[in-house]
Structure 1
Amino acid sequence: MALFIIGDVHGCFYTYLKLLDYWEPKTETLIQLGDLIDKGNFSPLTIKLSFEIKNTFKNSVHFLRGNHEQMMIDHFQKNSTPFNWLHNGGAEVMQQFDKLNINPSKYKSWINELPLFWGNDHVLVSHAGFCGIGDPFDLKNGNNVLWSRRRTIDLNKTQVIGHTPLTDERPQYYASSRTWNIDTGAYKGNLLSGIKLENDETLIEHLSVPTDPRDIT
């Protein structure tokens, strides 16, 4: 099956729905690279929909952990970190849960179990990318695959990342490290983007939809 990889959604639920219209479940594996939550107006609905998609399609769908999911996990587990989720969008998200009468506890276990990456022999997907400094999976390493904003290194396969919003609003390819960045700043009112690749990393197309005003106003 081909791969359809979606970038940082950040609670932009209606925009997310529009991009999902391009997914072909019978022929494509869906991968979302983290940061479903915070910043936009509908984080609870975004989580709820993603949870239901995963339960429906099982092994043909993969949701990854982003740094915002990690901050949420740390908040609920009362982990000591330099990042306070409530000060980084979490307070608004909890208000959204209350307003929609959705219990976040239903999704805590699922969010806690989100993996840090997905990969095959030709493609590697993670939230922030592999920069070669320290253990990329060590949550105490500020240059890990959740937080790094450094240039990615060549891992002899195509990397697909998000985390750092692009300034020109379109997915960018960095040939030196064979990396696609597909974070096009949906929460900023720009675009939500995805990319379709063959399993052997051949590019099929990249897709972008404008942010729905309902998601940010």
Structure 2
Amino acid sequence: MLSSLDVKPLDYTANPFGQGEQPTGRQVDGELVYAVGDIHGRYDLLKVMLAQLARDYAQRTAGRRPVLVFLGDYVDRGPQSPEVLDALIWLARRPDLEVRLLKGNHEQAMLDFIDDPVRAAPWLGFGGAQTLTAYGVEPPGEESGPQDLRQARDALLDRMPAAHLRRLQTLELMVAVGDYAFVHAGVRPGAALAAQDERDLLWIRRSFLESEGPHEKVIVHGHTWIDEKPQMHGHRLGLDTGAYATGVLTAVRLEDNRMAILQARAEAA
């Protein structure tokens, strides 16, 4: 059973998450922005998060159109990747919202498998098998050969709605709003945002996470999780809280120079 979402406002004099310094004095140019971390097939959590976001921005819009940024990794690991994509596609069609969907490394790995299932077979081992199963495709075994992999790819394309593939192929790499830049994994320290390499935006870890910054903007990212707490630092905000494993999906609200963390939790059975 799902509990209601917890909304934890963050003040700038304390750090309730124990994850480093909180961002301070940043602006979003008058926008009301929400960013949502890695979903990984947890449609159950996404449903609750969307309901809470709707309640939250209904109290705050005052004529503004909320900006919803999703940080990628919608598919894999969890059991409901198709339902997650359906929900995001529906959401992006709403005229009262500005929905920005970023590409994660798992979406790229899925696209690579569709393009060349033999070369991209490792995708099956880090979440792709669950996605195939969710689409009704039997995942190839570890000893499967090229023909088995191609048959699985063909079966996936037969079962995947065309709208899912189109959306996967048109995901964004970066969104900037005010003093914030939103990406999936992070950025290469020392490189201008305009000069970032796509692979870094999707896959980078250590060099970004260990960097003390500052960057051109505060980087809001997913991709790497430690536990169910977001990673709060002066130069970055990590929103991946391992939803597929922890049962916690995390988002942030950015408004003027204030922020609040929202979390959807799955109660223990």
Fold match (TM-score > 0.5) = yes
Match of 1:85 in 2: 123
Partner SS state of residue 205, structure 2: coil
CA contact (8 A) 1:44 1:102 kept: no
**2 CA distance for matches of 1:148 and 1:58?**
34
Partner SS state of residue 14, structure 1: helix
Q: Once structures 1 and 2 are overlaid, which stretch shifts more, 181-190 or 71-80?
A: 71-80
TM-score for the superposition, normalised by structure 1: 0.83
Amino acid at match of 2:253: K
Partner SS state of residue 94, structure 2: helix
Whether 1:40 aligns to 2:64 is no
Q: Which runs of 5+ in 2 are unaligned?
A: 1-30, 138-157
CA contact (8 A) 1:4 1:31 kept: yes
Q: Once structures 1 and 2 are overlaid, which stretch shifts more, 1-10 or 125-134?
A: 125-134
**2 CA distance for matches of 1:103 and 1:112?**
13
- Please give the residue correspondences for 1:19-58 in structure 2 after superposition, counting only pairs within 5 Å: 19-24=49-54, 27=61, 28-57=66-95
- Please give the residue correspondences for 1:99-138 in structure 2 after superposition, counting only pairs within 5 Å: 103-132=160-189, 136-138=196-198
Question: Number of paired residues?
Answer: 204
Q: Cα distance, 1:86 vs. partner?
A: 2.1
CA contact (8 A) 1:171 1:182 kept: yes
1:148 pairs with 195, 204, 213, which one? 204
Which of structures 1 and 2 has the larger relative contact order (alpha carbons within 8 angstroms, sep 6+)?
Answer: 2
Amino acid at match of 2:35: I
CA contact (8 A) 1:11 1:39 kept: yes
Match of 2:5 in 1: none
Amino acid at match of 1:165: W
Q: Once structures 1 and 2 are overlaid, which stretch shifts more, 74-83 or 24-33?
A: 74-83
Deviation beyond 4 Å, 4+ runs, structure 1: 79-83
**2 CA distance for matches of 1:83 and 1:160?**
30
Match of 1:196 in 2: 253
Match of 1:13 in 2: 43
Partner SS state of residue 135, structure 2: helix
**2 CA distance for matches of 1:213 and 1:98?**
28
| Identical counterparts, % of pairs | 27
CA contact (8 A) 2:36 2:69 kept: yes
Of structures 1 and 2, the larger Rg is shown by 2
Partner SS state of residue 76, structure 1: helix
RMSD over aligned Cα atoms: 2.6
